C-alpha cells in the first residue's frame, strides 16, 4: 500500500510540475490556452512514466546504467505507441513524435537526476549515522 501511495504522490508531483512548466512556456509563446486533450495526454504520459518506474523498482538489475537504459528504451517505445494510437483519434501534428520524444526524454532525465541525488544523500546520511555509532 505504501508503494502505491508513493507512486501516486510521484505522479501528482511530476504531473503538476510538467503542467506548470508547459503552461508558463505556452504563455511566453503567446498561447493563452491549452486543450483538454493535451492535458489528458500529459497525464497519460506521466502515468506511463510512473508505472514504468514502479515496475522497474521490482526488477533486480545490478548495473544502474543498464537498468536506466532499458527502462528508457522500453518506455519511449511505449510512448511512441501511445502517440501512434492517438493518431487514430485525431490528426497528429507534424512534430508529434519529436515533441513526445523531447518531452519524455527531459522528464525521464529529470527523474533520473533527482533519483540519483536522493540516493546519494540517503547513502551519505547512512554513512554518517554508521560512523557516529
As averages over each run of 10 residues, the pLDDT of the chain (133 residues) reads: 77 80 79 73 83 85 89 93 91 89 85 82 76 68
Instruction: Give the model's pLDDT for residue 3.
Output: 74
Instruction: Give the model's pLDDT for residue 12.
Output: 83
Angle between helix axes 96-132 and 36-56 (nearest 10 degrees) is 40
Check if the beta carbon of residue 50 is closer than 8 Å to that of residue 7.
yes
Rounded Cα–Cα distance for residues 75 and 81 (Å): 10
pTM for the structure as a whole: 0.73
Instruction: Give the model's pLDDT for residue 72.
Output: 93
Amino acid at each position: 500500500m505504501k508503494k502505491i501511495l508513493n507512486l501516486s504522490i510521484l505522479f501528482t508531483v511530476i504531473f503538476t510540475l510538467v503542467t506548470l512548466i508547459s503552461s508558463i512556456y505556452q504563455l511566453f509563446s503567446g498561447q493563452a490556452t491549452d486543450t483538454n486533450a493535451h492535458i489528458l495526454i500529459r497525464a497519460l504520459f506521466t502515468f506511463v512514466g510512473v508505472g514504468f518506474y514502479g515496475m522497474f523498482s521490482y526488477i533486480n538489475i545490478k548495473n544502474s546504467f543498464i537498468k536506466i537504459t532499458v527502462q528508457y528504451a522500453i518506455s519511449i517505445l511505449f510512448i511512441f505507441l501511445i502517440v501512434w494510437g492517438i493518431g487514430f483519434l485525431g490528426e497528429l501534428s507534424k512534430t508529434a513524435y519529436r515533441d513526445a520524444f523531447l518531452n519524455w526524454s527531459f522528464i525521464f532525465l529529470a527523474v533520473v537526476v533527482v533519483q540519483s541525488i536522493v540516493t546519494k544523500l540517503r547513502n551519505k546520511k547512512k554513512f554518517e549515522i554508521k560512523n557516529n555509532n
